[in-house]
A and B are shown apart, each in its own frame.
Chain A
């Protein structure tokens, strides 16, 4: 539960942010995963994947215009 991973997917083109998030989920089936992305499209794609996989999703803006997507699962 205390496990935490950060995936830096900024600048990666579609669908790599999703692929890297999926790999992180496979390696760590629960806990907290932070995904850094730089486009709204990537934020949506990562969020949709996570919800489909039963993760709780929240997102916040980063100062450089990107987003931090936080995924949690018990």
Chain B
């Protein structure tokens, strides 16, 4: 069994997902986790698939997709343990005037506190910059200190940042 990480990035048009998924299915590769979206109008797909085909076979099969406007990468990845993290999850929300370094500085603050960003989306709309990040914090983390440091750095960047605990409603 081989696990492959595949990215497809480029000019958006109808049918990219259908075509890529069909190629993988024909090659016996099971599409496992994937994320597909438009980033500033560009189509962007990242996925992990598993099966018996190897990198060269899949690269060759996906050539049907590749053109001047669409790029495909394929590489083998090791199996990763898919274990739930222990700790608490927070949603960090940032918005403000766009400037260089917002993600770099805030992500650095989170990393220094031992936080692991498990999902992150940013959007630039005119001059408004919006960042949403889900952050897992270990039990040993000092949440109050992280909040204070985020507030401090956000003030320097001129952006508003909030951080709230995400709770599950178990039903």
A and B from one complex: no
